[in-house]
Amino acid sequence: MTHSTRWILAAVTLAAIVSSLVACSSTDATLQTDEPPHVWVGTSKADAVARLGQPDESKTIVKQQEHIWGPAEDFWYTLDMGDSIEIWSYKSPQGTLQLYFLRGSETVDYEAFVDKDIVY
């Protein structure tokens, strides 16, 4: 085997290894796309529906108590007693995404995720 043939074989072997590594990393990235749904504060209702579809559940509540338990505790303390909050819920295998619209807002004021493995 000549010197140049060895270099060609080494280059082909290296290319095969790199190709395998790239395939593995892209497979890992695909497996990780099962992340919970997400939108950002400031997203319009129309954009949220376009991105996530209609909510699995929608309810409107009025703040009548000072304390709550759960992922929206920090947001709750910023609200005034009597504030109206519309909550959209989207269920996924990882848990439930909740979008909060304050006082009839057309944009997301707060977003919380309730992990399926956490109990409040």
Choice between 105 and 38, residue whose per-residue pLDDT is larger: 105
25 shares a domain with 50: no
What's the rounded mean pLDDT across residues 36-64? 92
Q: Is 73 found in the same domain as 20?
A: no
Name the pLDDT band for 35 (thresholds 50, 70, 90).
low
Q: Which residue did the predictor score with more confidence, 41 or 16?
A: 41
Distances (CA, A) of 104 to 43, 45, 57, 88: 14, 11, 17, 13
- CA triplet 97, 58, 84: central angle to 5 degrees? 100
Q: Tell whether 21 and 66 lie within a shared domain.
A: no
119 contact partners, CB below 8 Å, separation of at least 6: none
Q: Pick 29 or 102 by higher pLDDT.
A: 102
pLDDT tens-place string over residues 58-103: 999 999 998 888 888 999 999 999 999 999 999 999 999 999 999 9
**Domain membership of residue 97 as a residue range:** 45-115
| CA distances in angstroms from 86 to 94, 98, 105, listed in the order given | 22, 10, 9
> What average pLDDT is seen over the chain?
78
